[in-house]
Amino acid sequence: MKEKKRKKTFVLDTNVILHDYKAIYNFQDNDIVIPIVVLEELDKFKKGNDLINFHAREFVRELDKISSSDFFDQGAELGKKLGRLFIQVGVPFPPKMKNSFSEDTPDHRILAITDFLTTKRDENEKVILVTKDMNLRMKARSMGLLAEDYKNDQVEDLDFAINRSVREINDFDVAMINRIYETAEGIPVEEIFPGKEIKGNNYFILKNGNTSVLACYDPLQRTVRKVDKPNIFGIYPRNAEQAFAVDALMNPEIQLVAISGKAGTGKTLLALAAALQQSRKYEFIYLARPIVALSNKDLGYLPGDMNEKIDPYMQPLYDNLGFIRRRFNLRSPESRIIEDLQKDQKLQISALAYIRGRNLSDAYFIVDEAQNLTPHEVKTIITRAGEGTKMVFTGDIEQIDSPYLDKNSNGLSHLFDTMQGQDLFAHVHLEKGERSKLADIASDLL
């Protein structure tokens, strides 16, 4: 006899909705409960220009689409093969919470509602709190409640996702390595990797003893060609992975690039140098990064006007631009290119929130620190790309400042896991630090 499926009810925390405003549609045919305190918290986020404010407003619009007088009793239908959405008003604190939890804390009011629903529902129904706050999950478990992270957009096998676009193959045929060197237009992939199916832009280090070649699979031409280490605006790739990154950044057929790697591997520097090298192809060059304030304090806590508040967050981008400028004398053509781009406001460095609304057609758009974006925020940015735009996302998934993201759930990891295999996308993970020996050791050991 087939066992009856056990029904589930998921209680959503505010941070889940701010992470993905369409999260309510991702729980199959199970019911969703939104505590009334969550709506109160969302109301505080509705005003502002950051993506988190956009998510708060969009969720309110989603609620309006499915608005029903039965939100509180029978629940509103979420759609075909989906469950129902309930809004739960506040409930009295149970005795077991009164000695340990303050009643005026929103998280504790959510816990009280989860406990109330758990006690109210029958034994065949599981009530699960879904929150991206690890501390809240621990508090729930201390009360014997079920609690989980929001896992809908998490990368399941991160190591595989990181390493699958660049592969090292040993004991490769020496004659074929020499052919790749000698054939500039590339060799049909069937001759290089007979019987193997390769999707998307892939990079290879093909080796046999002391003989090796850096190679790239071109999915449009279905050929394998040699990868060079060209000079791009005074910057030379120092290792194989940097050469692959430059190849992807300079390839006009690749419209979306993700570059991951630890601090000092040259992610942002290579992206900026490639943008300057191709400045005549694009109308604008944008460099942007999300602002994740220290201690979760708003920018209003900082002194000065908006530009003065933002400048400290943008300084690493200015540092990379300054490093490139110092490689040329002031009268060189390269220095004049940078000066003219800035004078004409065609090279702009800004907080990511202030890029929204700009013209993203014919632009080279670099998003730095992309590991601090949610998957939905990355999607929102990419879907705004117009004709002739190239987008580059860089970041270190080991250095995440957002309190509700980790290596598996951030937007950068989600991007290179989901987009791998697409002809217009390439991902390269940089392993070797090139900033300094000290920085490399610190990144590995500290």
Q: What is the pLDDT along the chain (446 residues), one digit of tens a residue?
A: 445 566 899 999 999 999 889 999 999 999 999 999 999 999 999 887 677 788 899 999 998 888 766 788 888 889 888 999 999 999 999 988 988 899 889 999 999 999 999 998 877 789 999 999 999 999 999 999 999 999 888 888 899 889 888 999 999 999 999 999 999 999 999 999 998 989 999 999 999 999 999 999 999 999 999 999 999 999 999 999 999 999 999 999 999 999 999 988 999 999 999 999 999 999 999 999 887 643 333 444 444 444 555 666 677 788 888 889 888 888 899 999 999 998 999 998 888 877 766 668 999 999 999 999 989 889 988 988 899 999 999 999 999 988 888 999 999 999 999 999 999 999 999 988 766 667 667 766 66
Query: What total of structural domains would you count in the chain?
Result: 2
- Maximal CA-CA distance, the chain: 83
Q: Which of 148, 175, 199 is the last residue of a domain?
A: 148
Task: Say yes or no: 21 and 124 in one domain.
Answer: yes
Residue at 401 is within a domain: yes
CB 16 within 8 A of CB 147: no
Residue at 213 is within a domain: no
Which run of H or of E encompasses 29? none
Task: Say yes or no: 125 and 242 in one domain.
Answer: no
CATH of the domain at 436: 3.40.50.300
Q: Which of 127, 148, 169 is the last residue of a domain?
A: 148
CATH of the domain at 23: 3.40.50.1010
Residue at 189 is within a domain: no
DSSP-assigned beta bridge partners for residue 232: 235
Chain-centroid distance of CA 131 in Å reads: 19
Q: What is the DSSP letter of 94?
A: P
Q: Which domain holds residue 246?
A: 235-445
What burial class does residue 73 get, using C-beta atoms within 10 Å of its C-beta: 0-12 exposed, 13-18 middle, 19+ buried? exposed
Q: Which of 366, 425, 441, 442 is nearest to 161 (CA)?
A: 425
Residue at 22 is within a domain: yes
Q: Which of 148, 166, 198 is the last residue of a domain?
A: 148
Residue at 228 is within a domain: no
Task: Say yes or no: 243 and 141 in one domain.
Answer: no
**Which residues neighbour 197 within 8 Å (Cβ) at sequence distance 6 or greater?**
none
Chain-centroid distance of CA 419 in Å reads: 12
The Cα 152–Cα 414 span in angstroms is 11
Task: Say yes or no: 127 and 244 in one domain.
Answer: no
Strand 256-261 relative to strand 202-208, pairing = unpaired
The Cα 377–Cα 352 span in angstroms is 11
Residue at 219 is within a domain: no
The Cα 297–Cα 401 span in angstroms is 13
Task: Say yes or no: 141 and 262 in one domain.
Answer: no
State the DSSP string of 168-202. EE-S--HHHHHHHHH-TT-EEHHHHSTT----S-E
Residue at 365 is within a domain: yes
Task: Say yes or no: 144 and 249 in one domain.
Answer: no
Residues 237, 243, 246, 252, CA torsion sign: positive
